[in-house]
Every structure is written in structure tokens, then in C-alpha cells.
Structure 1
Amino acid sequence: MIDDDSALWSASDQDGTYPRPQLVRPSWTDLSGTWTFAFDDADAGLGEGWHERRAFDREILVPFPPESEASGVADTAHHRIVWYARGFGAAELESAGHGDGTRLMLRFGAVDYRCRVWVDGRAVGGHEGGHTPFAFDVTDALAPGDEHTVVVRAEDDPHDIGQPRGKQDWREQPHVIWYHRTSGIWQPVWLEAVPAISTTGVRWMADPRTGLVTAGLELSAVPVQPVEVRVDLSYQGRQLGTVKTMIDDDEASLVIPVAALANGQAYEELLWSPEHPRLIDAEIRVGDDLARSYLGIRTAHVARGRFFLNDRPYYVRSVLNQGYWPQSHLAAPSAQALRDEAQLIKDLGFNATRVHQKFEDPRFLYWADRLGLLVWGEAPASFTFTPVAVERTVREWLDIVRRDFSHPSIVTWVPLNESWGVQHIATDARMQHYARALVSLTKALDGTRPVVSNDGWEQVDTDIVAIHDYEADAGVVGDRYRTRAAIDELVDGVGPAGRVLVLSGDVDDAPVMLTEFGGISFDVDSAADAWGYSSASSASDFDARLSALMAAVHDSRALAGFCYTQLTDTLQETNGLVGADRTPKLPLERLRAIMSGAAGASS
């Protein structure tokens, strides 16, 4: 619960625990902690009425998946169906702000893959999509009395390769580049009371070129009578703009002139960038509802073979981030861990990260916004091309573009990667249409960011030519990417791994980035199953290989940026710059110098 005194808190300066950082209310109840739990391998629970139970026979620590050690269950075997139960009472309702005239919302950050939810034995709804948030109004489901129970049935079939699953292994044990699964509840669950008419979503569009900020509001219902809406913007306590109006619909678009942006000699003092992560605070009042938010004012586009941030060429130094922890899998071990991850990436000399095959926890995006870190938002892939897989992927993708649209840190969308889920796109016209459709749908919802159609190879209508190349010889890498002419030979012919890089679309002026490379395995723990694209035998050998490779990349006069593979060791995949425990494999200052281009080819 946050103190509801505007002088004491703002959305841009929160502690990172609130699960939905761009629409914050002062009163809420975190339902993380101990729940009761059961496997349902026989799928008997529905028929036997398990949703009416108040408890199950074992315990789990939510929001950690049952496969993980952090959950207390640590069972990595295949279990398709799991059940959860948790009680809550008067104290939780009071902390959530529930009282006369309010509606009690039960919110979930993510449940993998589909679920059904009951409160006090009454069904309140279901959801499909393992990475996307959802909520239910449970007010009318509360039974008389002071004690209540929420029950969740989650289904995650490990053999269903049509689910958007990313790096989650279909085998029982991890192999090569795939990891243990993350089933069931894996992001926060919380209670929050709101007025009958409240803000359910906000979409910020900030255009420094016109000096306008647009707030796209979604309301919980159509008001019976017109309701007053007011949005106030401020920066470091200085009022920037206000708009007030009456609305009679469940959607509204409010345009707020920001006079400070009209001063062409001073407007950059409000712009967001990794070097200056300035966040604008917003207060949103809809009738009796008060919510706080934040936004960043910046532009991102591509032109003339370069990526532009705030209308200036910006060289992208990125690192591939699996968003995986050995003790908690796709779930972060704590809210603090998400902040630490963003800070570590910056400390290593990067200004960007590509969260790989995962829609990351919004709290990580908050820290990217606040600390100043560019993010490429990438979808977790399914492993097959069927109508069902297409529908599932598109639904989750559109939900995430909607969820994350307002984060200034996100500057590029990546709906497909390395033809996962479209394995035959080079020769199958249906898959090419699908890739184009994803690009077009993304741009229909968001015309403010570039889109990479299929990161790595076999791209259609892409804004950035993104190349994956795990060549270990630094000399070969240098020759391939030193000039645009050399790169064009790859684009016009056959690229690394024998893949065609671009299938269609005009990429003559598109920036080229080396978006996966490196992958040097240096296994400090000498694990027998250590895996990487190439291997170093010692710290000095790792330094020499990494330095030479990065010197070749920095020497390129044609690349607009890069993304190194990868940030951390992940289970058997030992090609991280840091170990699974986030300990750097070389002194942090040395890694920073190498990755930022401040070091030469040798130490």
C-alpha cells in the first residue's frame, strides 16, 4: 500500500514492487506468498469439484513456477494441470481499499498457459496466454463473511508446441538452448479496489516535434452520465500541462499541449534517452478514481542506414538477455532482481537489451525506463505453423503491444525470431504473408517504432536488417561487416548459416545490425554439459577472443548497432558475459571497456 499523498510519491519514482508500474493506485494487496497447491495429472479436479476447496495438500510460494526451486516444489517433471488456493480476509480487503461503492479487482501478471479462476467457489473467469496480464471483477463473487478463497486451475501442456513458449523445453530435461519450463502463476497476483468508473488502461503518445502529448484512456464501463476527466503532467514538480473534459464513453483521447516543448532551444531538456532518462509524471482523474502514471518524451525511427533516437543517429550497443534465473526460471527471484538486471546491463557498457523469446515483467521495463536502457520487445515463439498457433501468437502479440506501448525504453518490436514457428518461410508463401501481417498489425497499432519482421534471417518488410552470425574468427567477422558493400553481398546472396537474409522489401536505406553474435562459452564451473557457439579455455583466452571479436564489430563503418550473445549463463548454455549468479567472468571494468569500444583488441 502506498501513502495517498501526492507530495510523497509519484509513478516515476516508485520502488519497483507495484506490478503495473504505468497505472498505479495507492491501495493494493500483494497476494504473493504461500498458497496451497496440487498436481492434477489425471485431470480429475473439475469433475471432483476442486474449485470449491479451501486448500490443497501441499504448499507453493507464489509467484514462482512449480518447476523452480524458489517455489518450494521444484518438480521439473511433466505436469499438465496444477491447482492453487489462497485465502484472504478483512485485512487484505482494507489494504486493497475495498469499501462501500468500490469494485474489487483480482489481477494477474501472467499465468502460463491457460487458467480458470474461482472466488468463494464461484467462477469469475478464465484466460489464455502465458505472458499477458488479466483481471476479474470479483465483487459479486464474495460470499458473506470475513474470509474468502481464490482458487486457480492452470493448464500448461509441455507437448503443445503450438503454444507461444519461447525457450521452454518440450523435453523433460533442458538441452542445447532450451530451458526448464515455467508453468502456472509466474508473475504477481494482487487485489485492488476501484470506483465503479475507473481507468483500466492508458496509452501515452508524446511528440516533441509538435509539442503535444496524447493520453489514450480506457475506462471500466460506459458512464451512465458524462464524467469529468482530468490529466495533469509534471516534471520534477514543475507543471507541464493540464487538460480537463467531460466524456460519456469508455474510451477517450486527450491531447495536452506542452508549452515547454515549443522552445526549440530548450525542448531537449525534457527528452528521454539512456543518457538522460527523464520521466514525466502524470495524474489521471476520472470521476472519483485517481491513478498515477508516467511517460517519456522521445522519438525512435530509422533512415539513411541508421537508427535515430530523438532525431539524432544513435549507435545501439545491446546484449541478448534470456530473462531466466536458475532458482526461479522465467519469474524474477525478487522485484529487486529486475532492477539489478537493468543496472548490470548498463554497468557492462550496453545502452540496450533484447529480451529474448520472452515478454518481460513490466517492472523490468519500469527500471529500463527509469535507469535509461533501450529495449527490443520480442515475442516468445511457438514451434509449429498451424491456424491455432497463428491465432495464439497474434493474440498475445497484440495484447503485449497494447500493454507495453507507453514504455519509452521500448524502441523496436520483434514479432518473430530466426523463423521459429515459420521454419519454412523461405519457400512457403503462407508463412511470408503471416510475417508481413505481423509487421502490418504492429504498425497499425504503433506507428512510432521500427519493426524487425524476423530477427536473424529470412526477413520480409523489415525496418532493420538484423543478422545473426556466430562466426568465431574475428578476422572473418571484420571482413563481412566492415563496409556496406560487403554487407550487401550477404544480403543479395546467402548469409551466415546458409540462410537468406532478406526475402522481400526495400532495405536499401535500412540500418544493418549484427543482432546475435559471439556466444563464446567460458565455463568457470567446468560443467560437463557446457554449451556455446565457440569455447574459451581460460579467462585470458576469453578476454582475447571477446576483445578481438568486439574490435571487429566496432571497426565496422556500416553497422548501426549490435546485440551480443549473451548476458548470463543459463543452465547448460555457458556463453554469458556473467555467470548464472550474475558474477562477471572478467573484471566488470574490463568487460565494460570491451563492449563499449573503449578497449583495443588486447588487454
Structure 2
Amino acid sequence: MSAALPRVASVPRPEYPRPDRDRSDRWVPLNGTWELDLPDGTVPVVVPFAWETAASGVARTWLERATYRRTLSVPAAWAGSRAVLCFGAVHHRAVVRVDGVPVAEHVGGHTPFEVDLTGVLAAGPTGVLEVDVEAPADKRAIPHGKQRSIPRDDYDGVSFTPTSGIWQSVWLEARGRTHAASVAVRGDSLTGFDVTVTVAGDAPAGARVSVEVAEGSAGREGVDLVAGADGVARGRVEPADPRLWSPADPHLYVLAVTTRADGAPEEDADTVRVTAGLRRVEVQGEHLLLNGERLYVTGVLDQGYWPRTGPTAPDEAALLADLELARDLGYTLVRKHIKLEDPRWLHAADRMGMLVWAEPPAPSRFSDAAAAAFEAQLAPMVERDGNHPSIVIWGLYNEEWGLDWDIPGSPARAEAAARAYDLLRTLDDTRPVVENSGWSHVRTDLVDWHYYDEDPAAWAANLAALADGSREDFPVKLGPDFVVDKSLYGSAAFPRGGVPVLNSEYGAGFTSLERGWHLRWQTQELRRHDRFAGYVYTELTDVEHEMAGLRDADRRPKDLGGVDPRDVNAPTTLVIDLVPAHAGADIPVPTAPLTLDVHVSHHGPSPVLGRVRAAWVPAGTPFGAEPVPAQAESEPVKAEPWELSAAVRVTVPAPGDAPAARLHLWLEDEDGQVRARAYVDAAPVEAPNRRGARTGG
């Protein structure tokens, strides 16, 4: 490598990439400046940022082939150990060479892979590491998520700049000559951990494996295991006084997994520290349960993109800040959209108690080869991420992308969706699986649906019909001039009841004010119907041309017109019997007393008893720390958990002569605590301006 090559000021993303499977006592980060051979010359490139990004220093789009190069040395202190070269993710096909000798090939842009350098590069000497990468511009037959393709695919309008080359961390770590290559931990029994250790190295068969609770328990409970002839050891560890993981108490255990060959001395043992939690997520009829208690999904969709760095966070602070942002906005689940996110993000979700809906990328044109490539990701996905208690839902295909929008009309495409479901359930039967998010379900644990509508009356009416089963379909705009009715069900044989039904994408509005308005009223209608098991709002932040975020692409606040998402997403909310007219003008300014019927939707563990109070304030006034003096109040209302209350009536006097005003409404319980807040804007309701329209010849 050229000695004159420019260097970044510090190693980007310097933190250990796998804190949930910790070997950070002996590791070397390989992020930083590498060489990149292009068809027209050699340039420096900053790893781990995709070569399309500004942060990489290359910023080349539609480059299909390039070779990464840097020097590499195994620390001399690692003599006698195995040095393993680890790649978080490389899109799409990577061939790894050391000193010109091919040592590995990997296909799949989101799944990790590793190379054992034993016998390839000795501890001490320096070698040359090269990674040849192929990233096809035509991505239609390969799993690529929301990357643009040439030729374009069906969802080009909602796709982003491609992500090519090395886009997650690269590092070296030392392991024992016989070591745990993977450790699967499942805590869904709620009393202990079922552990599966796959041993690799010199002598996997008969290897001695001990699993000990190193953190999270007052004791040091453990079990000693012996790997079978297949190199796999299985056993169970039961902590004393089991403490469950939940959003309210995200308690984690650390299991120290120590492995050595049969007969090898203790000093040759290899140890990896694995993080896990005791929790169970299950489906019971039309309800989701977490640890046996009813779970309502209050989610937000997150694409995981940053302006200068694409799908790779610029630093760990930015990566984890998005989780804090989602929580601060009142969400309890993040749907990480068709992207296998950085393991440090998932580890942080485990620690803070954020629930996660995880899903891999898909191809965009159906073929047997494309379906096989999609399915090939699933085992590595579960192996990488299956230990995270935060992941409570696995998603698979999204909106029939890669299935040509045609599950109902194509037995082969329907079978591909069902086959992916069966495969994932075989790999992990501890979480519900959605085979095709959005509509056309043929085999799924959750009937989810994506529905966007700018008309509040149509939104309310269609949600009511979906909730009571009188309607199974809804309009979906698949293109600028292509609207079709998509059904919840892709098969007449799929049961019309007994499976949880939830929304997993919604939102509307062109301006940020309109987005806030729709967020408020559309979420209210979702909360009106007790049958629904939750919702996922689209989306957390803007991405490139997609301006649907609650924050912009730089995570700066937007003007949502006074809407506080924390009120919208609260466990207890108000549901007003009103179809609003326009953003900023829900109703005309009343000239006589105004009467509203109000319900309470409550998802707490015990009933709430209180009164709905109301008061006019100047237009645009947000809620303060304390409510303004009430001008009216309802009769007492009792909200039972998971049941929309009966309506109570609130009558307020007219607001006076102001041209516009805002009506604050709040639920105050018997102890004087405000449990829910909402508002109604009164202003002139104008018909749309159509002056200047020209018709005819």
C-alpha cells in the first residue's frame, strides 16, 4: 500500500462491532483508509462507508467492480491462537485474498462473514489484504432492499442511492484453537436459557463447553457440556430468581461460554461473552403477548440512513441517537425497514428496552434464483441476530417486492412467500413471522397492512370496515397512475379471524404541518378499534427525496403544527367523534356552544377513572406543563384496559370573536393527573381554490 496514501484523522467506527458476542479483549479494528482500485485508477477509500457516499471519499455511483487493498498483520501476541478476519457486510459479492491467494468468497450484501487466517498469515509478519467486490447495477434478482437499480425496478420511486462495497466494520479477533463459532441463546421459557454452541477449530467433536451466568444474576449458575460428533453442544442454564426482560425492565444476562478441546489445558480455553434476555413473545388468538401480558405495537418505521454516510451511521452516537429519538417521540417499537442493522444498534435496543421488528432486504423481480437468494439470507440473519430479546417480530418480503405484486395470481409466488415463512419458523420458532408485510397474506403469524390515504373520512370509514371484517381490501397507489385494491389475504383459505391484525405502515401529508395533522387524526382512528394489535407510523426521519419523517434527514425537528407525538402514542389517548376538515381547520369556528363526544382508549394494566376537561386557547397554543383552567368537563368516564370506553359528552361555549382558536381536551384522573391530551383546531374551512383551471380544447 502506498505510503503517501491520505489518512483519516481517526479510525471511523472504532468501537468493537459485536458487543452482544464479545471478544473485545483481543481484537484489532481494520476500519480506516484503504486503497480502492477502480477501472480508471487507484484512489483512497474510507472503510466502512459505501463507495457511493461522501464519507468514503470516493462518491462514485453505478460503479460495479472495485478492489479494496490494505496491509494486514496479526499481532505477535496472538501466536498459538486463531486469527479470524471478520466482515460486517459487503455488498454484494466479495472475494478475499491474502498475498494474492484467494481465501474466501461471500455472496450477500447484508449478511456477515469471516475468514480464519490460520495457515494463511502467521502472527507477526505483514501481508496484503485484498477484497474484490462486484455490485451489479442491475439488482433486480439479488436482495438489495431500497437501493436503486439499473434497469429500474417497481419501487424505484421509493428507493435510494445504492450501497456498494464494504459498508459495515472490518476487524480481526483472536480465538482459541478450538472455539465457539456461534452461540444461540433462547430465553422464551422465562425460567432459563436454552443454549446451542457450534464449535469450530482443531477438535470440535467432543469439545468441552462450559456456560456460566457471568452478569445479571447474584449467583454464578452454569452448566458443563460436551460437543457431539457434529461439533454441537446443547444445554440449559437456569439463573436463580429469573428476572424477565421487558421494555419497562430491560434486564440482560451475560453468559460466559468457554470452549476447549477434549484434553486440552485450561490455558488453551476460548471464551466469548454472550448477551441475552428472558422474555417470551407469542400470539394468542388476535392478541400479541409479551411475557404473558397483552402487547400493543406502538411503532415507527426507520430506514437507517444518514446524509453523508448512507446506511452506515457516521459514528456510534448517531447510530444510537435514533433509538433515543424514537423513544422520546413515544414509540415502543422500531420497524427497521428491509435492512439488517448494525449489531451495536440491536445491542442498544436490548439495553434500553426498545422492541424491534427486523427484516432482511429482498430482490425486486421474481425468479426461482431470486427467491433462493432471498432465502439464503435467513439462516445468517437468525444466527447473527436471534439472541437479541429486543427483536419480537421477524419480517420477510415487503409489499410483494420480489414477488411482482402478484401473490394472489401466481401459485409460484405465493409458494415462495409461504416457503420463506416455513424456513424462518424452522430456524426460529420463538417469534411471530410475517411472510409478506402489507397485504396478500398466505401464511403468517400477523395480518399486517400498509395503507396510505389523504382523505380523513375515507381513512376512518375504511379502518372501521377492516376492523369489523366487512371489508378486506383497500386502495394502494403502486405508481403515479397505478392504483389497485389490495386485500389483506392472498388466499381464500387464509382464516379471516383468529390472527392478530395490525397496521405496519401509514401516514399522509405533503407539508410537515399536514404530516402532523394526519398523524394525530389517523392514529386516533387506529386507537378507536380494539381489534387492531397496533400500528407502525411511516417514518422516523426523512431520507433523500422521501420527506415523510417526523424529523428531517439531519434529525432536526419539523413544524408539526403543535402535535406532540408523545400524546398521540401515549398508553392512554382520547378518541374524538369527529371527521376533521383540513390541517389547521378541523372545524369551522363555532358561533354557539360546541358539543363533542369523546372516548378513551387505554392500554394500561388497570382501569382509569376520570373526567374529560376542555378549554379554548389561542390558535396554535401547545399544551403546557399544567392544563389551562377548564371551561367544561364531562361526566365521569371509566376506561377499562384494551376496551374503547363509551362516549362522554363535553360542551364548551363558543370561543368568542377570534378568527381561529384551539380547543384543548384532556383526561384528568381522580388523583388530578393528566392521562391523555388532544386538541381540535377551529378556523375558517375553505373549499380548495381551483381558479385558473382550464378545461376543454
TM-score (norm 2): 0.74
Partner of 2:111: 132
Give a deviation string over 1:139-169, Cα, whole Å, max 9, x none.
3222797322211100010113101011000
Q: How far, CA to CA, are the matches of 2:295 and 2:214 in structure 1?
A: 27
One-letter code aligned to 1:581: D
Q: How far, CA to CA, are the matches of 1:337 and 1:150 in structure 2?
A: 30
Change in 2 beyond 3 A, CA 1:244/1:428: same
Which stretch shifts more, 507-516 or 214-223? 214-223
Q: How far, CA to CA, are the matches of 1:177 and 1:170 in structure 2?
A: 12
Change in 2 beyond 3 A, CA 1:494/1:336: closer
Q: How far, CA to CA, are the matches of 1:40 and 1:387 in structure 2?
A: 33
Which of 147, 153, 158 is matched with 2:132 structurally? 153
The 5-angstrom pairing of residues 482-561 of structure 1 reads: 482=464, 485-486=467-468, 488-491=469-472, 496=476, 497-504=484-491, 505-518=494-507, 520=508, 534-536=509-511, 539=513, 541-561=514-534
One-letter code aligned to 1:64: F
One-letter code aligned to 2:412: R
1:223 matches 2:203: yes
SS in 2 for 1:549: helix
1:305 matches 2:286: yes
Change in 2 beyond 3 A, CA 1:485/1:326: closer
Change in 2 beyond 3 A, CA 1:427/1:38: same
- Displacement of 1:490 after TM fit? 2.6
The 5-angstrom pairing of residues 157-168 of structure 1 reads: 157-168=136-147
Q: How far, CA to CA, are the matches of 2:563 and 2:486 in structure 1?
A: 36
One-letter code aligned to 2:48: P
SS in 2 for 1:190: strand
Q: How far, CA to CA, are the matches of 1:573 and 1:142 in structure 2?
A: 46
Mapped contact 2:209–2:233 kept (Cα < 8 A): no
1:580 matches 2:553: yes
Say how many residue pairs are matched: 542
- Displacement of 1:247 after TM fit? 3.1
Q: How far, CA to CA, are the matches of 1:408 and 1:478 in structure 2?
A: 35
Mapped contact 2:340–2:359 kept (Cα < 8 A): yes
Mapped contact 1:462–1:507 kept (Cα < 8 A): no
Change in 2 beyond 3 A, CA 1:429/1:246: closer
Cα RMSD, aligned residues only:
2.4
Partner of 1:530: none
Mapped contact 2:211–2:224 kept (Cα < 8 A): yes
1:360 matches 2:345: no
The 5-angstrom pairing of residues 70-85 of structure 1 reads: 70-76=55-61, 78-85=62-69
Q: How far, CA to CA, are the matches of 1:138 and 1:454 in structure 2?
A: 40
Give a deviation string over 1:522-561, Cα, whole Å, max 9, x none.
xxxxxxxxxxxx313x64x443332222222222222110
1:98 matches 2:74: no
Change in 2 beyond 3 A, CA 1:446/1:507: farther
SS in 2 for 1:118: strand
One-letter code aligned to 1:141: V
One-letter code aligned to 1:501: L
SS in 2 for 1:229: strand
Change in 2 beyond 3 A, CA 1:348/1:193: same
One-letter code aligned to 1:39: L
SS in 1 for 2:525: helix
Q: How far, CA to CA, are the matches of 2:287 and 2:177 in structure 1?
A: 48
Partner of 1:68: 53
Partner of 1:271: 244
Partner of 1:212: 192
Mapped contact 2:467–2:529 kept (Cα < 8 A): no
Mapped contact 1:481–1:558 kept (Cα < 8 A): no
One-letter code aligned to 2:488: L
SS in 1 for 2:533: strand
1:417 matches 2:415: no
Partner of 1:57: 42
1:339 matches 2:313: no
Q: How far, CA to CA, are the matches of 2:368 and 2:189 in structure 1?
A: 41
Give a deviation string over 1:465-517, Cα, whole Å, max 9, x none.
1011101233332333347653x1232x5665401211232241111111111
Q: How far, CA to CA, are the matches of 1:330 and 1:61 in structure 2?
A: 15
Partner of 2:27: 28
Change in 2 beyond 3 A, CA 1:577/1:16: farther
- Displacement of 1:594 after TM fit? 2.4
- Displacement of 1:440 after TM fit? 0.8
SS in 1 for 2:187: strand
Partner of 2:38: 39
Gaps of 5+ in 2: 1-12, 261-268, 477-483, 574-675, 682-697
One-letter code aligned to 2:57: G
The 5-angstrom pairing of residues 65-464 of structure 1 reads: 65-76=50-61, 78-89=62-73, 93=75, 98-99=78-79, 101-142=80-121, 146-171=125-150, 176-209=157-190, 211-221=191-201, 223=203, 226-236=206-216, 238-239=218-219, 241-249=221-229, 250-261=231-242, 270-287=243-260, 288-423=269-404, 424-464=406-446
Higher radius of gyration, 1 or 2: 2
Q: How far, CA to CA, are the matches of 2:228 and 2:198 in structure 1?
A: 12
One-letter code aligned to 1:282: L
User: What is the percent sequence identity of the aligned residues?
Assistant: 33
- Displacement of 1:405 after TM fit? 1.1
Gaps of 5+ in 1: 1-14, 42-55, 262-269, 521-533
Change in 2 beyond 3 A, CA 1:79/1:68: same
Q: How far, CA to CA, are the matches of 1:224 and 1:180 in structure 2?
A: 44
Which of 573, 590, 593 is matched with 2:564 structurally? 590
Q: How far, CA to CA, are the matches of 1:543 and 1:107 in structure 2?
A: 43
Q: How far, CA to CA, are the matches of 1:18 and 1:483 in structure 2?
A: 50
Q: Which has the higher contact order (CA 8 A, sep 6+)?
A: 1
One-letter code aligned to 2:520: S
- Displacement of 1:228 after TM fit? 2.4
One-letter code aligned to 2:208: E
One-letter code aligned to 2:253: I
Change in 2 beyond 3 A, CA 1:20/1:507: farther
Give a deviation string over 1:323-362, Cα, whole Å, max 9, x none.
1112111112122222111111111110001111211111
One-letter code aligned to 1:87: T
Mapped contact 1:352–1:375 kept (Cα < 8 A): yes
One-letter code aligned to 2:218: R
